[in-house]
């Protein structure tokens, strides 16, 4: 290959890279302008993936539209039962927590001041006064933040209305996605040259396995964590056990950080209501639950569908947090799993080992 040919090839590669970067920037800017639409559409895809196995099973005996409506009715019944049985208790505990919060703050301050009195008995008086002033400033800052939050009640209500609207739109969009899923897939494959359709179909299958396994698995794992944490806190007689358990199950969707966020309120309440020893028991209980979730529950429910080692997961989460915050952390793991599946297919010429069992399980 001559120098001119190498130069032309390098310029072509550089041009393709530059065009790709420009296209990526343009697409990112466009998506940012329609962020609400992107979030709602993503929620619809998430919901469609979540219920697809049931829809597919019902579709064996029912028309697709009736199968989807049947699954919706089943979910509505389940949600209604949960609302009737757990809703009043959650509302009651949330109201009690809001009423008890000032007292919890005062108890925390009293315990902190008592600890300072014992620890700083040999410290000069001016240093003790500085510590007490710092505590007072922290409490005043917390009170100002609570006041600011109360002043934004209208904005919060408007945001809540938007959330409710989104939850109405998402099932409607998911209905049409499920109705047209096969036609959309076939139409997309028709756009691919004939020689590459089989490979493209296999890639779509890899993506489906990773996304479906991750989404449905995380929901089930979160529910298991919520039940275990609630039982743990009830056994230790920690106040607001159900409220904290549900919160821990929800934030468990965020890898690693979710476990810490779920433990913080339980540990603080145990510390301020039962003392340091009881707080250590709560910490030990959360560690046991999280170890069971990481080594027993998640591997058996999610399995190897995502196919990432713990180190890959940590790196993916850090990159996702840097690029997209909490939302980036959530999508980082399935995105990394899809990338690994694509690399495995193109480098090994065959699907990942976990794809076939997952497909057999779904059919």
Q: Tell me the pLDDT tens digit for each residue of 225-248.
A: 999 999 999 998 888 888 899 988
- How many domains is the chain built from? 1
Q: What is the mean pLDDT of residues 100-121?
A: 57
Q: Tell me the pLDDT tens digit for each residue of 262-287.
A: 888 888 888 777 777 888 899 999 99
3-class SS at 275?
Answer: coil
Query: Is residue 97 a part of any domain in this protein?
Result: no
Name the band, by pLDDT with cuts 50, 70 and 90, for residue 129.
low
> Cα–Cα distance between 312 and 331 in angstroms, integer?
14
Least confident range of 49-53, 104-108, 339-343, 349-353: 349-353
Query: Is residue 339 a part of any domain in this protein?
Result: yes
Show contacts of 68-74: CB within 8 Å, 24+ apart.
68/175, 68/178, 68/179, 72/171, 72/175
pLDDT at 5 over 50: yes
Query: Is residue 355 a part of any domain in this protein?
Result: yes
Task: Classify each residue of 101-140 as buried b or exposed e, where b means 16 or more C-beta atoms within 10 Å of its C-beta.
Answer: eeebeeeeeeebeeeeeeeeeeeeeeeeeeeeeeeeeeee
Domain range spanning residue 209?
A: 192-363
Specify the pLDDT at position 355.
40
pLDDT at 101 over 80: no
Query: Is residue 19 a part of any domain in this protein?
Result: no
Query: Is residue 185 a part of any domain in this protein?
Result: no
Query: Is residue 146 a part of any domain in this protein?
Result: no
Which DSSP category does 64 fall into? H
Query: Is residue 358 a part of any domain in this protein?
Result: yes
Q: State how far Cα 73 lies from the chain centre.
A: 25
pLDDT at 175 over 60: yes
pLDDT at 302 over 80: no
In angstroms, the first-to-last Cα distance of the chain is 52
Tokens (6 digits) for 220:
């089930």
Nearest to 346 by CA among 226, 218, 196: 196
Query: Is residue 216 a part of any domain in this protein?
Result: yes
> Cα–Cα distance between 325 and 224 in angstroms, integer?
26
State if pTM tops 0.85. Answer: no
**Neighbour tally for 275: CB within 10 Å:** 11
> Cα–Cα distance between 335 and 248 in angstroms, integer?
24
In sequence order, what DSSP letters do the residues of 305-335 get, joined into one string? SS---HHHHHHHHHHHHHHHHHHHHHHHHHH
Tokens (6 digits) for 77:
């019944």
> Cα–Cα distance between 346 and 39 in angstroms, integer?
31
Q: What are phi and psi of 151, to 5 degrees?
A: -70, -20
């Amino acid at each position: 290959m001559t120098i001119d040919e190498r130069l032309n090839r390098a310029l072509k590669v550089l041009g393709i890279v530059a065009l790709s970067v420009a296209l990526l920037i343009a697409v990112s800017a466009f998506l940012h302008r329609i962020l609400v639409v992107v979030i709602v559409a993503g929620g619809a895809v998430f919901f469609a993936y979540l219920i697809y196995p049931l829809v597919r099973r019902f579709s064996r005996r029912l028309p697709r539209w009736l199968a989807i409506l049947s699954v919706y009715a089943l979910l509505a019944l389940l949600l209604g039962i949960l609302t009737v049985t757990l809703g009043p208790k959650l509302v009651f505990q949330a109201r009690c927590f809001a009423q008890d919060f000032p007292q919890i703050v005062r108890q925390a301050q009293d315990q902190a001041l008592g600890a300072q009195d014992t620890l700083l008995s040999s410290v000069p008086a001016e240093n003790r006064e500085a510590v007490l002033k710092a505590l007072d400033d922290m409490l005043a800052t917390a009170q100002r933040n609570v006041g600011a939050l109360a002043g934004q009640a209208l904005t919060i209500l408007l945001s809540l209305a938007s959330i409710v609207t989104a939850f109405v739109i998402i099932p409607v969009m998911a209905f049409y996605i499920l109705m047209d899923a096969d036609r959309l897939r076939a139409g997309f494959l028709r756009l691919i040259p004939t020689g590459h359709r089989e490979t493209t179909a296999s890639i779509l299958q890899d993506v489906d396995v990773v996304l479906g396994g991750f989404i449905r698995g995380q929901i089930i794992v979160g529910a298991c964590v919520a039940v275990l944490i609630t039982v743990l806190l009830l056994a230790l007689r920690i106040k607001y056990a159900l409220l904290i358990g549900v919160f821990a199950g929800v934030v468990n969707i965020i890898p690693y950080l979710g476990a810490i966020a779920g433990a913080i309120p339980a540990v603080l309440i145990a510390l301020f209501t039962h003392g340091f020893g009881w707080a250590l028991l709560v910490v030990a209980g959360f560690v046991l639950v999280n170890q069971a979730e990481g080594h027993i529950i998640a591997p058996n429910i999610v399995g190897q569908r995502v196919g990432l080692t713990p180190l890959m997961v940590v790196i993916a989460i850090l990159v996702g947090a840097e690029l997209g915050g909490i939302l980036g952390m959530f999508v980082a793991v399935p995105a990394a799993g899809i990338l690994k599946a694509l690399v495995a297919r193109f480098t090994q010429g065959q699907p990942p080992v976990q794809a076939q069992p997952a497909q057999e399980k779904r059919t």
